[in-house]
Structure 1
Amino acid sequence: MAIAGLALTLAACGGTTTSLTVDDATYRAPLTDKSAGVAYFSITSSIQDKIIGLSSPQADRVEMHNSVTSAEGMASMVRLDSVDLPAGKSVIFGPGALHVMVFAPQPIAAGATFPIQIELESGRNETISFAQTLAPGR
């Protein structure tokens, strides 16, 4: 189950209407208490903006990461402080690329959603409900 097409419309200063669209918002709970959960989604802003922070009332911390591979073929994750949102273009957070790590999340019931608040440079703050999916092998 995925939450698709969540469109948030806001009136910015000066009466200009802006929108933020989030598609395919899914959350995978950690396999153990010692690992992190992960969230994937696609986000589109009608204006040039930047994600500058993430949080959840159900986790100790939430971070943006990017998966990178070195010239030697070693894969690693790099923590990101911000991610640009070009006006009208989708930015995809998915496996093996940009993604969201959720550290020390509280357990949620099967079928429940996991809330993550997105803080934007423009001053907008939006809470997105991520549909829980099972990790492969569960």
Structure 2
Amino acid sequence: MTEEFQAREPVPADNIFVTPGLGSAMDALAWSICDGGDSISIPQPLYNGFNFDTLNRSNARVIGVPYEGIEGYSNLEDLFHPVVNKMALESVLRKAEDDGITVRALLVSKSVMSLVIEMSTYRRNDATTT
């Protein structure tokens, strides 16, 4: 992991948590860091399964970070503009605080997700090919 992702510091094996998929990872994350009613913020558009994944055991909620109405946002390309992101995230955090909701985490991802898919495939020696 250290080499593959060019980490600034070594990533020890004890810091790696393997799950059978993203849903299981989200469930484990929410269960570990959230109390009932806490939230995890995720920029939109987002995978609609996140709501189920976080509510399943922890009773945490997902707060989508919308960009509509944010100064400087006009199209999907603006989702990657740092100033637009900062304003959208701060807006959601302020609203959550006003509503008495604790935001425990912000989930972000790279704009290109093919790397995850490519790295998740492997060859089985016991598989037969025809």
Which range, TM-score by smaller chain? under 0.3
Q: Which has the higher contact order (CA 8 A, sep 6+)?
A: 1
| Bigger proportion of residues as strand | 1
| Bigger proportion of residues as helix | 2
Please give the TM-score of this superposition, normalised by the length of structure 1.
0.25
Q: Which has the larger radius of gyration?
A: 2
